[in-house]
Amino acid sequence: MDFPTIISLTESELDLGALLAQITIPTTGAAAIFTGMVRGKTSSNHPRETNFLDYEAYQPMAEKKMHQVAEEIREKWPTIEGIAIVQRIGRLYPGTPTTMIACTSAHRNNGVFEAARYGIDRLKEIVPVWKKEIGPDGEEWIVGHYHPRPGE
């Protein structure tokens, strides 16, 4: 049986339930879903309020790298059945899901938690997407820290 892989870079609203259904196959008995949403109030570090985030992507490379993240998950955890890696772009308001990484397997101890965690960490390292934060005091690009190796 083919294991489903869903990769999507989209301006449309994320339907977590529909995505989960797409990576559930007859042998699936467990899923780990990570989703991130726009935070309206940040208390740690540099406390502030956020009105919305504007996401942009280098679309063809972002899709290629999302596929690469899925392949890396399959190499590390061969027991993973379905993988969904979804990034929403455009203008997103507090409370709105912006990303979803979900992995399914036959049992919970087959690496679903670790695989989903790995997926979001890698997305934040190598998938070319950026966000600009707009708040009551102005706007600012959020810049990451990771420098991929050539070919990574």
Partner 1 sequence: MLKVKVMFFATLRDYVGSKAIEMEISSGTTIQALTDLLVVKYPRLEKVKDSMIAAINREYAADDQIIPEDAEIALFPPVSGG
Name the nearest CA neighbour of 83 among 34, 124, 131, 15.
34
Q: How far is the CB of 132 from partner 1 (least distance, A)?
A: 7
Alpha-carbon gap, residue 12 to 88, rounded angstroms: 7
- Whichever of 101 and 112 has its CB closer to partner 1, that residue is 101
Beta bridge partners of 90: 55
Name the nearest CA neighbour of 123 among 102, 93, 107, 94.
102
Q: How far is the CB of 61 from partner 1 (least distance, A)?
A: 4
Q: How far is the CB of 63 from partner 1 (least distance, A)?
A: 9
- Whichever of 91 and 132 has its CB closer to partner 1, that residue is 132
Q: How far is the CB of 111 from partner 1 (least distance, A)?
A: 21
- Whichever of 36 and 135 has its CB closer to partner 1, that residue is 36
Beta bridge partners of 30: 105
**Cβ(20)–Cβ(33) under 8 Å?**
yes
Count H helices, E strands: the chain? 3, 10
**Residues at the site binding partner 1, with contacts judged by CB under 8 A:** 36, 55-58, 60-62, 64, 87, 98-99, 120, 123-132, 141-152
- Whichever of 83 and 126 has its CB closer to partner 1, that residue is 126
